[in-house]
Structure 1
Amino acid sequence: MDAVLIDREKTAERLLAASAKHSFDPDAELDWDAPFEEGKWFWPPELVSLYDTPLWRRMSPEQRIELSRHEVASLCSIGVWFETILMQLLLRHTYDQEPTSAHVRYALTEIADECRHSKMFARAVTKMGTPTYRPSRLDHLLGRAMKTVSTTPGSFTGTLLAEEILDWMQRLTFPDERVQPLIANVARIHVVEESRHIRYAREELRRQMRSAPRWEIALTRTSGGQAARVISRALISPRVYAEVGLDPDEAVRAARASEHRRDVMLRSAKRLMDFFEEIGMFEGPSRRLWKASGLLA
C-alpha cells in the first residue's frame, strides 16, 4: 500500500472511532413535542438576511422573529437538497474504491449521518409549520447536472461549500440563549457530526488536488466557482419575504445591498476560502467566478 493510501486509511480509522463515540439519533434525543418559546428567535438575528437594513428597521419585533423562523425553514429545506446531492456524490466516489477499506466504510458512515440529518431538517420544517422552500428550477437543474458529471475533486469541493458555510452559522447558533432550544439543538447535532465530514472532505480534496489530471483540476476550479454561486444564492428563498408580509423584490434588493449581509457571507466562508487558496483552487481565470459568488473577498 502506497503512502497516500496509508494516510487515507489512517484518517478514516480515526473518523470511524469518533463516529462510534459521538453520533446522535435526533428522533430520540430532541424534544419534538415541546412548544416553541414565546419571543425567542429561530436564528441569531445578526444572521437573518435583512438584519440592520432600512427595511429591517421598519419591521416590528414580531415580524423580525417570524422572518427568522422562515429563514431557518429555508436553510433546513435547502439543507435536505444539499445533503441529497452530497450522498449521491459520496456513493459515486465509493463505486471505484476498495469496498473493504476504512475509507469506504467511513464514506458509508457519513452517508448514514447525512440520512439522519435530512430527516432531522425535514422534521424541523414540519415542526415550524412553514412551507417547504425548494431551490429555483434553474438551481435544481444545476444541482442535477453537478451530481451527474462532477469530477472527484469537484464532488469534495461542493461538499465543503455546502457544509462549511452552514457550519460557521450553526456554531454561532447552538450556544445562543436567544434561540429556540429545539433549533439550537438541531444546530448542535449537525455541528458535531459535520466536523468529521469536513475533515474527511478536506483531506481527500487535498490529495485529489495533488494527484488528479490537469484537466480535472482546471474543471474543478471552474465548476467549484459555479457551485459557490448556486449555493450562496440558494440558502434563503425569496419566498420567505412574502410569507412575512414583505415585498419580495424589495427585500431581495435590500439583502443584496446590505454590507452586513455581505460581511456575514464572507466571514462564513473565510476559513474555507483560505483552505481553497492553500490548495490552489483559485489559480487562473476561476478567481473571478469565485468572487462573483460573494464568498471570496
Structure 2
Amino acid sequence: MTKPDKKAPATESLGPASATLPDLPKRAIGIDVGGTGIKGGIVNLRKGTLIGDRFRIPTPKPATPEAVAEVIGQILEELLGREKAPSRTDLVVGVTFPAIVIDNVVLTAANIDESWLDCDTTKLLQHLPGRVATLNDADAAGLAEARYGAGAGRAGTVMMVTLGTGVGSALVHDGVLVPNSELGHLEFEGVVAETKVSASARERADQPWDEYGETLRRYLKHVERIQPVGQFIIGGGVSKRSEDFLPYVTGLRAEVVPAVLVNNAGIVGAALYAAEQARLAEVRAA
C-alpha cells in the first residue's frame, strides 16, 4: 500500500482530529465565558470529564475585553493552584466566547459587549501562562458532545444546537469541527430563528412544551434542508427538560438526541480544542 506523501497539500492541512497527530496531553484547562458567569475547569482529555469542581466568577459589568481578561486570569490562577493541575510547562488553555471567532479574533458582538468587535484575543490574553486558543462557545460545546458525549463514536456529520438566550450551532464532521456555523441567525418563518426558537423566546411567549417542540421540529426541518446531518444534538439549559419537548420533534431524517455533558460541555470542548490546536501547530511546524 502506498504511503501518503507527507508534503502533499492534503497532509499539510490535516484537521485536528486526524489520527496522525501525536497523543494529546492528559489534562488541559477550559474556560467558558458567558453572559452571567465565567467558569473554568481542569479537563481529563482521555475521558472528557472534569477533574475536581468547576470554578466560577460572575461576568463583570460592563463585560469589556480588559475586565473579562482579568477574570479569566483569576480563574486560571485558581485552577493552576490545585494539586492535579497541568504543569505550566505543558499548559494549554481553551477559552470560549459567545461570538464568531476566527484566528483568535472576535468578529461579532451580538451577545457580548460591542467593545469586543475585532478584538485580537491572542494579544488580550498574552499575559496568561501556557498556549491559549479561543473559539465560539457553541462550537466548543458541539466539539465536546461529538467526541465525548451524545455523538461519541459516530461517523459522518453531527450538529449541536444550543437553546438558551439565543440559538447556537456547531457542525462536526468525523470529529473535526467546522467552526462558526451560526445557524441560529438563519431567517426562519420570516424572522431571525433565535427570536422564535430559543429557550428565552419560549419563556417570553409562555409557550407550552408541546408547541415549543413543534416549533423546534419545523426549525430543524428547515436546517436539514440547508445542511443535512446524521444527528442533531440538542443542548443548552433547556436540554434538561428534553423529555417535555423532544417527543414532538419527529419526521426528520436525522436522529435528534439531548446533550449529555450539559453545563460542562463548553469547558471540555475548549480544553480539547486548545490541546488539538497546539499539537496541530507542532505537526505543521515539523
Q: Which has the higher strand share?
A: 2
TM-score, structure 2 as length reference: 0.31
Instruction: Between the two structures, name the one with larger relative contact order (CA 8 Å, sep ≥ 6).
Output: 1
